[in-house]
Structure 1
Amino acid sequence: MNLERELAHLPRPSEKRIAVRVSPAAERRIRKGHPWLFDKAIRQQSHDGRPGDLAVIFDRKKRFLAIGLYAPASPIRVRILARGKPTQIDADWFLYQVETAVEQRLPLLQTNTTGYRVVHGENDGLPGLVIDRYGETLVLKLYTTAWVPHLRDVMAAVNKLIQPKRMVLRLSRFVQRQTDALYGLVDGQIWGRPVRNTGVRFLENGIYFEADVVHGQKTGFFLDQRDNRARVEKLAAGKRVLNVFAYTGGFSLYAARGGAKEVVSLDISQPALANAMRNFKLNQANEAVAAAEHELLVGDAFQSMKQLIGNGRRFEMVIIDPPAFAKRQDEVERALTAYGRLVRLGLKLLQPGGILVMASCSSRVKANQFFDLVHKTAVGVGRPLQEIERTGHTLDHLIGFPEGAYLKCLFSYVV
């Protein structure tokens, strides 16, 4: 693919850098490695800039502190790229950053896996940018328009290092609204070979999946739960398994390969469950998958779980992996209430000695807060839990700053 020609219409960042002075508190955060500078922390600024211009941050003694991408429409006004000493941000710098990230993921290639996160935003030193790999397809997702002027350099780097058949651009909702800063870029845009209607195929620990990289949630699949899916596989033999918020059936398929005799995939999205059915068909060569009874259940998780309870359905394993309930701090209490409801419903569906797998992907809800809530809820309904293990992030979803720690999952037996 001729990326230079395809992206020639995109602007380059201004050669004139923006000089910024910040509050003492912001200065301390940046020195400690935090990747964000908020608009309210800026005390002085040399001039206005466009998305993607480079902003140089100085300390109170006018010494270099950091350099980052400027985003005038975002409360995260500058996303830090480098700190400590002046750094030239150019095509070579982006190539080095992406190459470093690629090398950190090399162990995954030894696990019969071709679907994984190549760049994990802030945690890989490229704040506001996610790059996921699905076999021969790369998906780039932008969470800030500040990446638009640098897109050709980033795409050239990943094209050189990975040489995919296609690249797909995904844009966050916030970015999609800033049409003037996108220069014609649109969510789902494809460079290279077209995508088939059913999506792109990839391997995860030897299991085939298909991801809708153009319209699917996030970049098409929830790659961060790979290790937890593998843990479910080891625990699923002979069990009846309920997978709540199943999406495209990741946990369900691992449970089936692990020897589960019955798997119920529950999700509110009919298209997602249709994809789950296709994923099961892709793996029929595996005897355990072919032997498992797979039931699709479309509906709201809370209401459907109540109906299952009322119908006398019971399981030996219940997996609950809800979406992010708390994207803002003022949503935390409501999120904790929702988690509590889900735990109570899940416990009512579990046979004595069954396994509860309860996950949270809300960074605003801290790990200890989440685990304590699950345990207290279980004790409150007279079904205390015996922990198997607590888990967090996978190799390709490394943590580089406090807000980057969002995923936590509890595996436990129930009395």
Structure 2
Amino acid sequence: MSGLDALPSTSDQRVAVRITPDALRRVRAGHPWVYDRSIESTNREGAPGDLAVVFDKQREFAAIGLWDPASAIRLKILHAGRPVTIDAEWFATTIETAVAARAALWEGAPRHRLGYRAVNGENDGLPGLIVDCYADVAVIKLYSDAWLPHLRDLVPSVQAATRAAHVVLRLARSMADRPTFGLDDGDVIVGDPPDPVLFQEGRLTFEADVRRGQKTGHFLDQRANRLQVGKMTKGRSVLDVFASTGGFSVHAAAGGATSVHAIDQSAPTIAVAKRNMSYNHDLDTVAACEFTTQCADAFDALGHLGRSARRFDIVIIDPPSFAQKAATVGRAKAAYAKLTKLAMGVVEQGGVLVQASCSSRVTSDDFFDTVTAAAVEHGARLTEIRRTGHDIDHPVSFPEGAYLKAGYWRVDTGRRARR
């Protein structure tokens, strides 16, 4: 395995940790994080990735996790309850269990061609670790250097569970100033993956830049919503805002949309969207769809389209997270409201609004209330068709793990429909 020889090993001596009563209750209830402020005492200074054991006041085992001295989340819990041994076998079993829980995704489908999330961090019992698969390429993304000493065990476990021929390492931006022992973001650990990697979502083909692209190369979490949109677009015009690499656009075209207009402020992602559309031109519906793109700020572009009186049967708004911290929740809700109001100016009477949020700090109720209230303020009325959350490969096991929510609404703009 290329580049892993210089990685440190963990200490044989466990870090013994005492935590506050409230933190202990949370850990026993299944919460995967212990913050630095909840640490009452330790027996020694641990290194990143050392195994740390939480003891209760009776000196009984309560939990075990990864010690992360540089993070506010000082301890990342791997297991709570009865004592277990955390070793290569434990990692292999945990990863295999996570992958097996996704089996419904490849029922009747060519698993070796699909894109899916194999390990969803804390929600699969592995805090700070993501594994995404694109065809036969597994991408391991680390959000903490506490995982580096365990990579030698993780890589073969990931390969065995996912049947990947290639493994790529991605490192979160938060690790940029941390020691990585010669490893860089985008390093190929196993094999020689193609560039880009082509994979399937439903019957459609997309590319993933697994070494340089955003996240791990593609936004897999919106797959179910993209498939749903594809079922709604026959004979309709579609506006895809914050289009990124064109996931919604391609599904809309494949579903029979007469036209799709994609807006994103990143020229490189718009270029990928065009390529993703071209990969599917063998489908008659895609070939017949008029696909146009616009590299622009979403708010500015929506305002301009509204003033030009251009209207669309379906408007899709899938913005990035607007609330990276608690202090920005108010601004995030204001941004969602503004987007809704702008959407009311470009959607046809009786058309459909699909609007999403990936901000975990904005609750589902707050998001849906914000959207519907904004529409009313604009003089429109929304009738909810459905609301969605996380797909099967993005499970949620603790409150902070829930971030994705999307709504589908029928729109009464108060305007007469065009004839």
* TM-score bracket, shorter-length normalisation: over 0.9
1:151-187 per-residue CA deviation (whole Å, 9 max, x = no partner) reads: 1111010122333231111111111221x2x111110
Aligned pairs (5 A) from 1:388-403: 388-403=385-400
Would you say the 8 A contact 1:24–1:60 is kept in 2?
Answer: no
Separation of aligned partners in 1, 2:5 and 2:312: 56
Which residue among 49, 67, 76 is the counterpart of 2:73? 76
Separation of aligned partners in 2, 1:136 and 1:314: 41
Separation of aligned partners in 1, 2:376 and 2:108: 39
Change (3 A) 1:293 1:219: same
Query: Which residue pairs with 2:245 in the alignment?
Result: 248
Deviates more, 1:159-168 or 1:220-229: 159-168
Structure 1 residue 191 displacement after superposition: 2.4
Structure 1 residue 192 displacement after superposition: 3.4
Separation of aligned partners in 2, 1:129 and 1:162: 15
Which residue among 62, 71, 95 is the counterpart of 1:65? 62
Aligned pairs (5 A) from 1:4-403: 6-110=3-107, 112=109, 114-178=114-178, 180=179, 182-197=180-195, 199-403=196-400
Q: TM-score, normalised by structure 2?
A: 0.96
- SS of corresponding position for 1:157: helix
Structure 1 residue 360 displacement after superposition: 0.2
Separation of aligned partners in 2, 1:379 and 1:228: 25
User: Unaligned stretches of 5+ in structure 2?
Assistant: 413-419
Separation of aligned partners in 2, 1:193 and 1:16: 35
1:99-135 per-residue CA deviation (whole Å, 9 max, x = no partner) reads: 1011111111126361000000000001100000000
Change (3 A) 1:256 1:267: same
User: What root-mean-square deviation, in Å, do the aligned CA atoms of Structure 1 and Structure 2 show?
Assistant: 1.1
Letter in 1 for 2:255: G
User: Unaligned stretches of 5+ in structure 1?
Assistant: none
Separation of aligned partners in 2, 1:406 and 1:9: 36
- SS of corresponding position for 2:351: strand
Q: After TM superposition, which residue ranges in structure 1, 4 or more long, deviate above 3 angstroms?
A: 192-197
Separation of aligned partners in 1, 2:308 and 2:378: 20
Separation of aligned partners in 2, 1:33 and 1:124: 12
> Percent identical across equivalent pairs?
48
Separation of aligned partners in 2, 1:242 and 1:195: 34
1:221-279 per-residue CA deviation (whole Å, 9 max, x = no partner) reads: 11010110111111111111000000000000111111110001100111101111111
1:314-359 per-residue CA deviation (whole Å, 9 max, x = no partner) reads: 1011000000100111110000000011000011100100100000
- SS of corresponding position for 2:291: strand
Structure 1 residue 196 displacement after superposition: 4.2
Structure 1 residue 142 displacement after superposition: 0.4
* Aligned residue pair count: 409
- SS of corresponding position for 1:288: helix
Separation of aligned partners in 1, 2:108 and 2:278: 22
1:197-244 per-residue CA deviation (whole Å, 9 max, x = no partner) reads: 4x1100011110001111111111110101101111111111110000
Would you say the 8 A contact 1:176–1:186 is kept in 2?
Answer: no
Structure 1 residue 195 displacement after superposition: 4.2
Deviates more, 1:157-166 or 1:56-65: 157-166
- SS of corresponding position for 2:252: helix
Would you say the 8 A contact 2:303–2:342 is kept in 1?
Answer: yes
Separation of aligned partners in 1, 2:16 and 2:161: 34
Structure 1 residue 60 displacement after superposition: 2.4
Separation of aligned partners in 1, 2:295 and 2:54: 51
Query: Which residue pairs with 1:408 in the alignment?
Result: 405
Separation of aligned partners in 1, 2:251 and 2:278: 13
Separation of aligned partners in 2, 1:333 and 1:46: 42
Would you say the 8 A contact 1:35–1:81 is kept in 2?
Answer: yes
- SS of corresponding position for 1:395: coil
Separation of aligned partners in 2, 1:58 and 1:332: 36
1:33-54 per-residue CA deviation (whole Å, 9 max, x = no partner) reads: 0000000000011110110000
Q: Counting helix residues as a fraction of each chain, which structure ranks higher?
A: 1
Would you say the 8 A contact 2:237–2:314 is kept in 1?
Answer: yes
